[in-house]
A and B are shown apart, each in its own frame.
Chain A
Amino acid sequence: MIPELGHFALILALCMAIIQAIFPLVGSLNRTPDWVALARPVAWGQFVFLSLSFGILTHAFLVNDFSVLYVAQHGNTELPTIYKISAVWGAHEGSLLLWVLILSGWTVAVASLTRNLPDEVVARVLSVMGMISIGFLSFLLFTSNPFERLFPVPVQGGDLNPLLQDFGLAVHPPMLYMGYVGMSVAFSFAIAALIGGRLDSAWARWSRPWTLVAWVFLTIGITLGSWWAYYELGWGGWWFWDPVENASFMPWLAGTALIHSLAVTEKRGAFKRWTVLLALLAFSLSLLGTFLVRSGVLTSVHSFAADPARGLFILMFLLFVIGGSLFLYALRAPGISRGGGFANLSRESMLLGNNLLLLVITALVLLGTLAPLLYDAFQWGKISVGFPWFTSMFVMFTPPLIVLMGAAPLTRWKQQDPAALLRSLRLALGISIVAGLVMALPVREGSLSAGLAVALSLWLLSTLLTSLKQRLKNRSGVGGLLADIASRGGRSYYGMWVAHAGIAVFVIGVTFVTQYDIEKDVRMSPGQEIQLNDYRFRFDGAVPHKGPNYTAQRGTVRVFRDGKEIAVLHPEKRTYLVQSRPMTEAGIDAGFLRDIYVSLGEPLGNGDWAVRLYYKPFVRWIWLGGILIAIGGLLAASDPRYRMRVLARMRGSRTATGTTTAEVHA
């Protein structure tokens, strides 16, 4: 009975979404205030029903209700509680339910935090979000009902895919979805602006914090995914250019271009058409990502159930949403005014360059992801575009991007005197070239890449410091810095600062771990020792070990440096009982400057094991960079100028919504 209530709640949510999509929009066009006023309560109604539905599915997992097909397939009585909860989004149906729930969450956030915006603008934004919701809810109800019953009821469930039984992956999808779906807010603002024909700097200021927060979630999601792949897949890799990874990376790239372009539109009124197009693109790429993952068009390590019927549905939906929005763009774009002009050397031109480079990279990732499909469709044979292709094109386009990133904050809006720019860049240029040369000479394997990375990274950091010095020339000491951070527009600047520094850290991490990591595949008998770099590894054998829902062979590897024991690692080879799938659990000694990474291969008899040993310098810097980028984004989104009026109003009327979310989102 309870699962049927969940199903029914879903249907009611769809009805709410239909009302939300039609009435506020029509009302805003023919000036019917009552219809416009429907938008907010209906958005809340949809959220309540979706929460109920999601809660019921979670409950079914917690009480092991195997009469629900989805629970029988992915749940299990032996599953630890946290994975019973994460199993809800562990496969197709449930993860879609999470998708719409999050969409609805963003919708009510927009509904409650935009009270200072004109009502008909909010009505249109919510209406567009309602249309997106209709698409996904009907997809859920008509092709992927999570509440389908199973009879006869099995005594035990099929268990959650062991790969997903991990904390990192339990929280990875919600973060990623927050990012994907969050891009729908910028999209809906853009559509609302196109419908109303009002594309101005106010529109850019309204969309900016939403876009930033969505982008932060995407950043966190991708970083988590990379970290998970590193410790869970047992190969020591941190990014695989897998279609599913690319599907999350493309909206991130477009989103990065969008937040920079929005800055220009807000400050200078320029790039309006471009910004609108990017807002459409960022969400379109999120939808495309969903299509690629769900339809089975591309195979990947991550893919859940692939089903062409579902694929066709999403494709139709894509045609409607993306095709429709691009058509609207084509209708409206000629009427959009040009906005402020700028010289060839100006911050605008630099940001335009950065935007173009980001889009080129996005296009190349898209091409690489779709290449197998392209070849297949035109019957050129089956190929897969490999890792080296992606890496080489990335190495080609990232350096110019970083050069621009360093120079842009030191360049004036509208027009910049070249000589003055050169003067402020002189020091940074000197530092990075010298440091790069020191790193690259003497020439040996990998030193050229390392030199380039060090040069780029120091270029970024020293230009950032130069810009900070210029900014603080009228303030002094720590007090001056804090006052500057607190000033209007201050957090925007420091957010940029931290995020760009994150890129510098990331570049070092990626290059060093790629060029200088050491990897050894060895056969080890108990008691045997192996030297790798400065480290000595002793294998003390593997013993059986029993977990809640798996059995394992648990190895012990002691690591010594200069005769002193520095770490005891326990790599495991697990077999999950229900799906009888072997899994590798790496033993990792994490450090700021290096990781030591040990994983077990196959047992070779007599207690011997194939053991893989890695020394990975600076690998943590990859994720540290990701974290800094996310912190920067949050800092920028929390800039007082986005929320002055909201807070003032909250103090006045004490609305029912929490002030803490207001501070993050507004």
Chain B
Amino acid sequence: MPRFVRYLAPLVAFIALAGLLYKGLSLDPKLVPSPLIDKPAPAFSLPLLQHPDTLISNSDFKGEVTLFNVWATWCVACRQEHPLLMQLAKQGVRIYGLNYKDERAAAKRWLQMFGDPYLANAFDEDGRTGINWGVYGTPETFVVDKKGIIRHKVIGPLTSESIKHELLPLLKQLQEEDG
């Protein structure tokens, strides 16, 4: 059989490659690029969506594990994500929103129509805070720990799978850390 074995070389090389690719599937390259992970959340101070004369800032997050969800009414994926946020809020997860480059009236209507999962919404009309947070598309969701440090970032809509397998375990772990 030695001749047969010689011609198996391409197959063996391919299987090694496939093994590598399989391993690659379990690694998430999207986690790599954000330079803000494990850094303190960028400071901001913005008017509330519902009450323009009251300000909200990142110090409101302190002491609790918080989700900071970036959304807008013009974003279809946000609409898709919205029911999941509602569920999370029902489970007692603290969610703040960053209403990004939006119209105040439209955003209020949206919350009336689809429900309001947020403790409060910062109204980022010109998108400056979004830029400071490194947002490059909506929706995005940041996980901020009790010390106000960004621990995780989800680009694109949350899915029920990513919530179950990534987000909830992480939130649980962060809850157990000291504030």
Is B truly associated with A? yes
Determine if B55 is an interface residue (Cβ-Cβ < 8 Å): no
Whether the pair A312, B25 counts as a contact (CB closer than 8 A) is: yes
Which residues of B sit under 8 angstroms from A441, Cβ to Cβ?
none
Determine if B101 is an interface residue (Cβ-Cβ < 8 Å): yes
Residues 1-60 of B contacting A (Cβ, < 8 Å): 3-4, 7-8, 10-11, 14-15, 17-18, 20-30, 32-33
- What is the minimal beta-carbon distance from B112 to any residue of chain A, in angstroms? 14
Whether the pair A297, B21 counts as a contact (CB closer than 8 A) is: yes
Contact with B along A274-310 (1 / 0, CB 8 A): 0001001000100000010001111100000110100
Residues 70-98 of B contacting A (Cβ, < 8 Å): 74-77, 79-80
Whether the pair A333, B7 counts as a contact (CB closer than 8 A) is: yes
- What is the minimal beta-carbon distance from B1 to any residue of chain A, in angstroms? 10
B interface, over-half SS? helix
Contact A373:B20 (CB < 8 A) given known A326-B10, A382-B32: yes
Which residues of B sit under 8 angstroms from A273, Cβ to Cβ?
7
Whether the pair A308, B74 counts as a contact (CB closer than 8 A) is: no
Partner of B10, one of A297, A308, A329: A329
Whether the pair A297, B11 counts as a contact (CB closer than 8 A) is: no
**Measured CA separation A581–B135 after assembly (Å):** 11
- Number of contact residues on B: which range applies? 20 to 34
Which residues of A sit under 8 angstroms from B79, Cβ to Cβ?
154
**Measured CA separation A330–B33 after assembly (Å):** 42
**Measured CA separation A308–B24 after assembly (Å):** 9
Determine if A327 is an interface residue (Cβ-Cβ < 8 Å): yes
- What is the minimal beta-carbon distance from B137 to any residue of chain A, in angstroms? 7
Contact A73:B25 (CB < 8 A) given known A299-B33, A322-B14: no
Contact A315:B7 (CB < 8 A) given known A156-B74, A376-B27: no
**Measured CA separation A280–B3 after assembly (Å):** 20
Which residues of B sit under 8 angstroms from A518, Cβ to Cβ?
none
Partner of A306, one of B30, B32, B137: B30
- What is the minimal beta-carbon distance from A279 to any residue of chain B, in angstroms? 12
- What is the minimal beta-carbon distance from A416 to any residue of chain B, in angstroms? 30
Partner of A291, one of B14, B21, B33, B77: B21
Residues 84-141 of B contacting A (Cβ, < 8 Å): 101, 127, 137
Whether the pair A370, B20 counts as a contact (CB closer than 8 A) is: yes
Our count of residue pairs bridging A and B at CB distance below 8 angstroms stands at 94
**Measured CA separation A411–B150 after assembly (Å):** 66
Which residues of A sit under 8 angstroms from B14, Cβ to Cβ?
284, 322-323, 326
Contact with B along A382-426 (1 / 0, CB 8 A): 100000000000000000000000000000000000000000000
Which residues of A sit under 8 angstroms from B17, Cβ to Cβ?
370
Whether the pair B7, A377 counts as a contact (CB closer than 8 A) is: no
**Measured CA separation A284–B15 after assembly (Å):** 13
Which residues of A sit under 8 angstroms from B7, Cβ to Cβ?
273, 329-330, 333-334
**Measured CA separation A273–B10 after assembly (Å):** 12
Determine if A157 is an interface residue (Cβ-Cβ < 8 Å): yes
Partner of B20, one of A322, A327, A374: A374
Whether the pair A318, B18 counts as a contact (CB closer than 8 A) is: yes
- What is the minimal beta-carbon distance from A335 to any residue of chain B, in angstroms? 10
Contact A315:B18 (CB < 8 A) given known A158-B77, A330-B11: yes
Contact A73:B4 (CB < 8 A) given known A297-B29, A299-B33, A374-B20: no
**Measured CA separation A579–B77 after assembly (Å):** 11
Which residues of B sit under 8 angstroms from A298, Cβ to Cβ?
24, 29
Which residues of B sit under 8 angstroms from A333, Cβ to Cβ?
7
Whether the pair A299, B4 counts as a contact (CB closer than 8 A) is: no
Contact with B along A323-343 (1 / 0, CB 8 A): 100110111011000000000
- What is the minimal beta-carbon distance from B127 to any residue of chain A, in angstroms? 7
- What is the minimal beta-carbon distance from B115 to any residue of chain A, in angstroms? 13
Whether the pair A326, B20 counts as a contact (CB closer than 8 A) is: no
- What is the minimal beta-carbon distance from A605 to any residue of chain B, in angstroms? 16
**Measured CA separation A105–B15 after assembly (Å):** 31
Contact with B along A117-153 (1 / 0, CB 8 A): 0000000000000000000000000000000001000
Which residues of B sit under 8 angstroms from A370, Cβ to Cβ?
17, 20
Whether the pair B20, A299 counts as a contact (CB closer than 8 A) is: no
Partner of B30, one of A73, A299, A334, A377: A299
Whether the pair A73, B18 counts as a contact (CB closer than 8 A) is: no
Contact with B along A140-176 (1 / 0, CB 8 A): 0000000000100010111000000000000000000
Specify the chain A residue showing the minimal Cβ separation from B2.
A334
- What is the minimal beta-carbon distance from B140 to any residue of chain A, in angstroms? 13
Which residues of B sit under 8 angstroms from A581, Cβ to Cβ?
137
Which residues of A sit under 8 angstroms from B11, Cβ to Cβ?
323, 326-327, 329-330
Contact A578:B21 (CB < 8 A) given known A299-B33, A323-B11, A334-B4: no
Specify the chain B residue showing the minimal Cβ separation from A284.
B14
**Measured CA separation A363–B74 after assembly (Å):** 45
Contact A158:B32 (CB < 8 A) given known A312-B25, A323-B18, A329-B10: no
Whether the pair B76, A157 counts as a contact (CB closer than 8 A) is: yes
Whether the pair A377, B29 counts as a contact (CB closer than 8 A) is: no
Interface centre among B4, B29, B79 (most CB of A within 10 A): B29
Contact A297:B25 (CB < 8 A) given known A326-B10, A334-B4: yes
- What is the minimal beta-carbon distance from B161 to any residue of chain A, in angstroms? 8
Specify the chain B residue showing the minimal Cβ separation from A578.
B74
Whether the pair B75, A158 counts as a contact (CB closer than 8 A) is: yes
Contact A373:B76 (CB < 8 A) given known A323-B14, A330-B11: no
Which residues of A sit under 8 angstroms from B24, Cβ to Cβ?
295, 297-298, 373, 376-377
Determine if A319 is an interface residue (Cβ-Cβ < 8 Å): yes
**Measured CA separation A273–B101 after assembly (Å):** 60
Beyond the given pairs A284-B14, A376-B27, 7 more chain A to chain B contacts, judged by CB atoms under 8 angstroms and listed by A's residue number, are: A291-B21, A298-B24, A323-B18, A327-B11, A329-B7, A334-B3, A376-B29
The 6 listed contacts between A and B (C-beta, < 8 Å) are A73-B76, A158-B77, A299-B30, A299-B32, A308-B26, A311-B25
User: 3 tightest CB-CB pairs across the interface, nearest first?
Assistant: A158-B76, A326-B11, A333-B7
